[in-house]
Chains A and B, each alone.
Chain A
Amino acid sequence: MNRLDLKTIIYAEKAKDQSNKQRHKICVCCGAGCLSSGSEDVFKKLQEEIKNRGLESEIDIIPTGCMGPCNQGPLIKCLPEYAIYQKVDCSNISRIVQSQLIDKKPIEDLLLFSDSRPKPFINAQEDPYFKKQMKIALKNCGHLNPEKIEDYLVHDGYKAFDKVLFEMSPEDVIAEIKQSRIRGRGGAGYPTGFKWETVYKYVSKQKYVICNGDEGDPGAFMDRSVLEGNPHRVLEGMAIAGYAVGASKGYAYIRGEYPLAIKRFELAIKQAKKLGLLGNNILGSEFSFDVEVRIGAGAFVCGEETALIASIEGKRGTPKPRPPYPAESGLWGMPTLINNVETLAAIAPIINNSGEWYSEIGTAKSAGTKVFALAGKINNAGLIEVPMGTTLREIIYDIGGGIQGGGEFKAAQTGGPSGGCIPAAHLDVKMDYESLTSLGSIMGSGGLIVMDESSDMVDVARFFMEFCMDESCGKCVPCRVGTKMMHDLLKKICDNKATALDLERLEELAVYVKEASLCGLGGSAPNPLLSTLRHFREEYENRISNPQAKSKTDLQPTT
């Protein structure tokens, strides 16, 4: 298929969409969250209801990706009114169809947030939950059918790829990405444009692009939702990246725990191949690119790029010292570009709207938007996307709807086992790379766990240390032994058996492990400990000054 054939298909699909504009659409959220709450049954029941009423020619039912407020699921969205119904079950579908679609009267007590707001918004877009957000990576996630490439094409899908192939040189693409100032969304925040340029500059017969979808942080599900809700967007980002750096082969490394994301991404590859958007001489150009899925097998360390490469090669996922960086010598020793799912999802909009447009969103040093997975003791747990620089307070209270059960906010944990916590005193911190680092936490991949006063911060530190201890690959001693020793000391504090010397040792050890570990896992494993020590030191000291504990061990230094 050449460029013109594709344009004809898109034109026909758009005309079809235009003629259907007047029709009602019901989007049923089929993201992992809503599916677990039973949205598949809702979808079937809805189809049955529409069929029984003979409305098939007037109403389209679309299974979509994640809409955001996961714990209110299953969700259905009625367009064009934009009325979202929450906690839909098979028993109230008939009522919704009758009232919303036939009598045109929304049912207020079933609308989204009807149980938490005095008066829910009939048009959900007016709700502060959506108003405060800005969706770029998640755009169209809850609108289109992720299993149909035609839906994506209608929503300007592969338009950026087409533009890049025929109107831009690889240098132009890299310049555009550099201008956007986008930084890697996987956690470390390395400028994406520079990474691309580095890989581009290495001369090699073969280069690779890898999409890192090994979302290992417990408490994070951003990549999962993007892959499940709009897989073509990620695929398009990979293809553009391939063109820019000169790679002809891409690998998408996706966690084995995400079977739906794997299924949908594989389907997306198949559909793109069929339309000639992947393969040899794409759309009649000189560029050839192919993508393969690699399934992760459950190792947190594989999120680290050199470990991930080892895993794609079919080996144990143990990291290697850097340099050489993968940009120089990566997969099978070839120059390799590794980007996170969310970064790749933002590429097409940057090309379509210009790098300048993207760079104006967010803060001076952190451009663009960030997807967060809100979870823990918060009312509106789910997936959100906000401009960088939005304050934690806005995220928790305006979007998140405050603390569950009316409790008191104690801390928010970002960056998972590599990150730290933000206490109540810093609720007005701007969520961007620099501000979070200055508080001793990190942006991380976007997991944001909210804790109330019932959370014991020493135990939280122990929880993360246990995780790092289990996940340490065992290759280097500081991480393998250090995490175990730190965990045992934390356990001792939790059990009220520790002494002041133990705490001192713990702090000393934290520095050693941080400095001496080979890769990011060990290097950041002490972060949750150091951060809870920094903000909640009294909780540690209270455990230690416990008289019962003192009686057990004699702390007097022997001279």
Chain B
Amino acid sequence: MTNHTHQPLAHVKELSATDPRVKLIAAKMKKENYRPDALIEILHTAQNSYGHLPINVLKYISNKLHLPPSRVFSTVSFYHFFSLKSKGEHTCLVCTGTACYVKGAQQILKEVEKAFRLKPGEVSADNKLGVQVARCIGACGLAPAVIIDDEVQAKADADAIIAKLNSKMETV
């Protein structure tokens, strides 16, 4: 923390150029002509390949786009979509939009929190499950909605969600 050298992030491990995920990001940056205004698009690609945005990936992007690391970090931390931490192997995303709220999403969230002892934004110690909330996924006609591993569970019921998550975690 106190090590203020001329090279910030000097301690961060460099990425391996042969990593297929790095190749994906490199290709995207090339396609966007290393334009700084394409930062958000590039971050989307990075998050899609890594699942989240590790700090060394951010350093790599900031180098390539000639942007200060602070600028990249401030953009990442601003948007909900980007995550600096792993989201877990399986994810349970509870929609807490207005329609879902009116139809009892809070109750579902409470029971999921209780069953797995995880609060929104937390990941289990074994990295198996992460619980998240979304402000609205736009599936309001099917409220309350929960997304388990990218699959929308329409008109969700807490018991069924918990059962589904348990079975997901058992089968690896």
Contact = CB atoms under 8 A, between A and B. Distances in A.
B78 A314 contact: no
Contacts of A298: 79-81, 135
Contacts of A443: none
A375 B38 contact: no
Interface stretch (A15-23, A29-37, A131-139, A281-289): A29-37
B27 interface: no
14 contacts: A32-B138, A36-B154, A219-B99, A221-B141, A296-B81, A297-B43, A312-B37, A318-B78, A375-B99, A376-B143, A377-B102, A450-B102, A451-B102, A471-B135
Given A217-B136, A218-B99, A381-B143, 5 more contacts: A221-B139, A256-B81, A314-B37, A314-B38, A467-B135
A381 B141 contact: yes
B82 interface: yes
A459 to B, nearest CB: 9
Nearest to B96: A218
B127 interface: no
Interface string A85-115: 0000000000000000000000000000000
A312 B77 CA distance: 16
B97 interface: yes
A218 B44 contact: no
Contacts of B96: 218
A467 to B, nearest CB: 7
Contact of B41 (A36, A73, A295): A295
B137 interface: yes
Contacts of B136: 216-220, 257
A449 interface: yes
Contacts of A451: 102
B140 A373 contact: yes
Contact of B80 (A295, A299, A381, A383): A299
A385 to B, nearest CB: 15
Contacts of A434: none
Contact of B98 (A313, A317, A416): A416
A219 B145 CA distance: 12
Which of B36, B81, B138 is packed against the most chain A CB atoms within 10 Å?
B138
Given A256-B44, A299-B80, A315 B141 contact: no
B17 to A, nearest CB: 24
B143 A33 contact: no
Given A219-B97, A314-B37, A375 B74 contact: no
A313 B37 contact: yes
B40 A294 contact: yes
B135 A375 contact: no
A295 B134 CA distance: 17
Interface residues of A, number: 57
Name, among B36, B75, B82, the residue most crowded by chain A CB atoms within 10 Å (CB to CB). Answer: B75
A381 B140 contact: yes
Contacts of A215: 138
B65 to A, nearest CB: 9
B33 to A, nearest CB: 13
A73 B140 CA distance: 13
Contacts of A258: 138
Contacts of B142: 33, 36-37, 70-71, 73, 381
A383 B141 CA distance: 8
A377 B141 CA distance: 10
A312 B75 CA distance: 12
B104 to A, nearest CB: 9
A449 B75 CA distance: 33
B134 A257 contact: yes
